[in-house]
Amino acid sequence: MISMILKTEWLKLKNYRAFWLLLAVTAISYPGINGIAYYAFMDSIDAKTQSGQLVKMLLGNPFAFPQSFHTTAYLSSFFTFIPAIVVIMLITNEYMFKTHRQNIIDGWKKNTFIWGKFISVLLITLIVTLFYLVVASIIGTIATPDADRTKIVEKAHYIGLFFLQVFCQLSIAFLLGLLIRKAFIAYGIFIFYSFILENMLSGLFRLKSKKWGIDYGHYLPFEISDRLIPLPPFIGKFNEADNKLAIAAIESHVVYTLVLTAFVWLLSFYIFKKRDL
Amino acid sequence: MPVLEINAISKSYGKIRALENVSFNIPKGSVFGLLGPNGSGKTTLLSIVLDVLQANSGGYKWFGESPTYLHRKKIGSLLETPNLYHYLTAVQNLRITQTISGRGNEGDIHAVLEKVNLHERKNSRFSTYSLGMKQRLAIAAALLGDPAVLVLDEPTNGLDPVGIAEIRGLIKELATKGHTVIMASHLLDEVEKVCDHVAILKRGQLIACGAVEEVLSAEDCLLLSAADQLLLTEKMGRYPGLVRMNATAEGLECYFAKGASSAEKVNQYCFEQGMVLSQIWAKKKRLEEKFFELTSK
């Protein structure tokens, strides 16, 4: 059954140029953002100025192993919106071409159709995580020529956290595409919500948190998984108390993220089953 | 056992009643025409039996069993428009149909493309096809693996006259091989030429159903002419068993309850009334006339 679903989804994707193009853009964006940040950092600490030396002394090298896994995950997560566009495209295309109907007419159960998309989103997440892992490893190797191999894996759990964050956010993108059905409206809402509205709400909840005694902003759909990868220590040092709290909350946010992701997929199965196609 | 049993299906879109308590059976091996004007509920009914829409009430059975996805795998279907991946070629699209349905193999893909005259363009993307070619590819997808039952919603949509004739020929060929073809159409001529059974829908209600001959000949019609048409009309007005009359340029159409009269009896009656008929013709009603008669009530 799974091999049949995999084969069908592969047949849908393997000759779809837009899919490969966007994956290539993702593949370029990760070394791009991390490379720029790395060279900017190296430039600043290489400077013979007093501030350059101060930065070097205070921050260490955030791109060296094992910190590389954390820093690269944090920077790469800014570009999750590109694979999210791919995921929205995968589901809205089916609605645009009405092939979601044809798949059912030809003999798929409605659940099988959503399983197909679940597997696709999972594979895209794996590919994206692989991009991140390659970038983190290369930058880490460059930044740590004399790396102590035993310490390299100290922060390797960020690989799993990055995977979970991407999978959760791509799952939300999928649900949005399933609900909206029109590609450009879904892209617009996704970008507006994830980049603007949620940040505004997050700021608003932060302001109210002192009065309410709780920051509800931590539980917004994207913020739940954003908090899996807190600010890297070299930035976090500027607000050490908050950073410690954020790192302590990672475990809870793993649970919240898993619950949210499960809810998103259960809702997707339910909507597709109950809705007229 | 019927291939498809439709039992009291109703479906609404908000306040609009798309189907109201529709029931009928589709016999095995028939070419079954589902007729009705635009918006009569044909596509809605086919969408329900193919599980893309859910009925508000009622149900249906495929092959005498409660419907499952396994039944749909055995049915070749074209619903409303060709629903295929625009960025894929004909062969690539049919591979997806093959993988999902399990019908046919790589050789069959090429065979059905030959059958619908698309083999030369088999490696062109679907988006580059004309409307007629898209329709041909959708028909090829339905034919893949030679399914015993085909559901074709407006199969000749977008086809040129040659294409229409080819598809009609194909449907007739399938019928001779014992396949069941369920075909929705608003083209009466098409249904009359290829179907042996018909169901007529009007505003979501079933208004006639059965073998085409039965549906057409609920009444007998004789076309009469005489030197004095006025006198003929007056005399025939008193004929026992006459249901109605209609004066046309061809002559006087006289309708009788099925089996209530015959050309012989009418001829004798007229002769006894002192009239000699110059024409008496047992007219076979065309589906088009019957359709308009039923749907205009």
ipTM: 0.86
Cβ pair B86, B111 in contact under 8 A: no
Report percent pLDDT > 90 for chain B: 57
Interfacial A residues in 154-213 facing B (CB < 8 Å) = none
Answer whether residue A101 shows pLDDT above 90. yes
User: Which of A9-23, B232-246, B259-273 holds the top average pLDDT?
Assistant: A9-23
Higher pLDDT, B50 or A55: B50
Q: Where are the domains of chain B?
A: 4-214, 217-295
pLDDT in tens, B36-91: 888 899 999 999 999 999 999 999 999 999 999 999 999 999 998 899 999 999 99
List residues bridging with B24 in a β-sheet. B6
Sign of CA dihedral B14, B16, B21, B26: negative
Token pair 């040129």 is at which residue? B160
Give me the sheet containing B149-153, strands edge to edge. B75-78, B149-153, B180-185, B31-35, B197-202, B205-211
Tell me the whole-structure pTM to 2 decimals.
0.85
Chosen for mutation from A105, A271, A272 (greatest number of chain B CBs closer than 10 Å) is A105
Q: Are A97 and B86 within 8 A, CB to CB? A: yes
Choice among A142-146, A185-189, A195-199, A219-223 with the minimum mean pLDDT: A142-146
Could you give the CA distance from residue B184 to residue B199 in angstroms, rounded to a whole number?
Answer: 9
Cα–Cα distance measured from residue A168 to residue A225, given in angstroms and rounded to the nearest whole number: 7
Q: Give how far the C-alpha of residue A15 lies from the chain's centroid of Cα atoms, to the nearest Å.
A: 25
- With CA atoms as reference, report the closest residue to A221 among A256, A245, A191, A187: A256
What class does CATH assign to B217-295?
A: alpha beta
The number of helices, as runs of H, and strands, as runs of E, in chain A is 15, 0
Query: How far is B281 from A192, CA to CA, in rounded Å?
Result: 75
Cross-strand bridge partners of residue B247: B252
Are B101 and A106 within 8 A, CB to CB? yes
Asked if the model's pLDDT at residue B215 lies above 80, the reply is no
pLDDT band at B217 (very low <50, low <70, confident <90, very high): low
Give the integer Cα–Cα distance in Å for B256 and B246: 12
Q: Which residues on B lie below 8 Å from A274 (Cβ)?
A: 54
Looking at A47-98, list the stretches that DSSP marks H as alpha helix, in order from N- to C-terminal side.
Answer: 50-59, 67-76, 81-97
Cβ <8 Å between A107 and B73: yes
B40-69 residues touching A, CB cutoff 8 A: 47, 50-54, 69
Residue position matching structure tokens 């899996």: A228
Instruction: From chain A, pick out residues whose CB is under 8 angstroms from the CB of B101.
Output: 106-107
A3 touches chain B (CB under 8 A): no
Q: Which of A16, A276, A277 sits opposite B87 (nearest CB)?
A: A16
**Secondary-structure breakdown of chain B: helix, strand, coil percentages, each rounded to the nearest 5:** 35, 30, 30
Q: For residue A252, is pLDDT > 80?
A: yes
pLDDT in tens, A9-54: 999 999 999 999 999 999 999 999 988 988 888 887 776 667 666 6
**Residue A256, CA distances (Å) to A184, A209, A269, B187 in order:** 29, 19, 20, 58
Higher pLDDT among residues A149 and A129, named by residue:
A129
Degrees to nearest 5, angle at CA A20 with A16 and A25:
145
Superfamily of domain B4-214: P-loop containing nucleotide triphosphate hydrolases (3.40.50.300)
Interface probe, candidates B50, B52, B71, chain A, greatest A C-beta count within 10 A: B52
Chain B residue with CA closest to A99: the answer is B83
Residue with tokens 């009269």: B261
CA atoms within 13 A on the CB side of B250: 10
The pLDDT value recorded for residue A13 is: 94
Q: How many residues in chain B?
A: 297
Termini Cα distance of chain A: 23
- The structure tokens listed for A49 are 């100025």
Q: Which residues contact A75 (CB under 8 A, 6 or more apart)?
A: A33, A34, A37
Tokens of B261: 């009269």
